[in-house]
Amino acid sequence: MTAERLRALRLTCLIEMIYATGLRVSELVALPASAAERSARMLVVRGKGARQDRLPLPAEVGEAIAAYLKRGRPASDRREVFLRARAPFRPIASGTVSSTVRRACRRAGVAEVGAHRLRHTLACEMVSAQVPLVQIAQVLRHHSLQTTAIYARVDVDQLRALAQPWPGGVR
């Protein structure tokens, strides 16, 4: 398999994991290969404050992890899922995740965004699907609903569709 194909497997896995699970970049880079419990369809994540959470593992994310671990990840005794593409095979840095996502955006011909935008997009899509804010906070692992509300900004076009006309005419 070519080096380009190996990088593509890693990129697919990175993007799928952040976008589908709402992982923070720091959580992603520290994620051990043992965290994915594919049979239970769960992902064990160590988050802020040594907190440990079990998240649902969507099938496509489990498949992306398996493909990367089998065919894309360099052979190493490191426990982290994501390793540098070149020796020495250490865990990737947080900055590598964001720059990798930006590079993928450029190649796809779309506006460049960092990895954190994928987490934000998940929250916005959950708001659009009318998922309660409390459940969004659980997925994003926020302690405060105020923090979740920042991520889950209101869609102005949807709000316009719901707004009642101003009494007495247009203002």
pLDDT in tens, 10-59: 888 999 999 999 999 999 999 998 887 766 788 888 877 777 888 888 88
pLDDT at 153: 63
> The tokens of 130 are what?
């009318």
DSSP 32: B
Question: Nearest-CA neighbor of 32 among 78, 95, 98, 73?
Answer: 78
pLDDT of 57:
87
**Contact at 8 Å (CB) between 155 and 128?**
yes
Q: What is the pTM of this model?
A: 0.79
Active site (catalytic) residues? 24, 48, 116, 119, 142, 151
Contact (Cβ atoms closer than 8 angstroms) between residue 127 and residue 135 = no
CA separation for the pair 79, 17 (Å, rounded): 17
Task: Domains for the chain: give ranges and CATH numbers.
Answer: 3-115 (1.10.443.10)
For residue 51, count CB atoms less than 10 angstroms from its CB and return exposed for 0-12, middle for 13-18, buried for 19 or more: exposed
Question: 31 versus 170: which is more confidently predicted?
Answer: 31
